[in-house]
Amino acid sequence: MATARRTRNQERVFECLKSLEREISAQDLFVELRDRDQSMGLATVYRSLEALKLEGVVQVRTLTSGESLYSTMKEDRHHFTCLHCGVSAPIDHCPVHALEQQLNQDHRFKVYYHTLEFYGLCVQCQSQSQGQGQSQG
């Protein structure tokens, strides 16, 4: 992917994200940059993340709480998330790569990344829910 001309702050945000190798919220990234003596305003962190996302080198995943997690572009992300306890686990197999290729072919739409999220109850929360239902009856 061609690198767009980045501001110094965008480059610092990008390098910090690359070094972390995990998803992180903008607020936590703000703290991480401050801890590395590369402090910048929170609004600047958000603007930098948005520019990097539009460049196609940063991806974002939004949790059920509404919090957004950012990471460098490595691969598509797929998760299932428990609505009760909030545990989120990755799904290794991607069922939509063929659709992505079809969009590119039919509509000339260049996909940078996609997310696929499933929401429901994990095994532990299902057990707790069933136990509560039985005790009420």
What's the Cα-to-Cα distance from 28 to each of 46, 82, 122, rounded to whole Å? Answer: 11, 23, 27
Which of the following CATH numbers is that of domain 75-137: 3.40.50.300, 3.30.1490.190, 3.40.50.2000, 1.10.3210.10?
3.30.1490.190
The ranges assigned to domains in the chain are: 1-73, 75-137
Helices 8-20 and 26-35: crossing angle in degrees, nearest 10, is 100
Please determine, for residue 3, whether its predicted confidence score (pLDDT) is greater than 80: no
Q: What is the pTM of this model?
A: 0.65
- β-pair type (77-82, 88-90): antiparallel
Task: Give the pLDDT score at 107.
Answer: 92
Report the CATH architecture of 1-73: Orthogonal Bundle (1.10)
More confident residue, 56 or 114: 56
Roughly how many angstroms between the first and final C-alpha of the chain, as a whole number?
Answer: 59
More confident residue, 98 or 1: 98
- CA nearest 124: which of 91, 92, 78, 86? 86
Question: Which residues does residue 133 pair with via DSSP β-bridges, in sequence order?
Answer: none
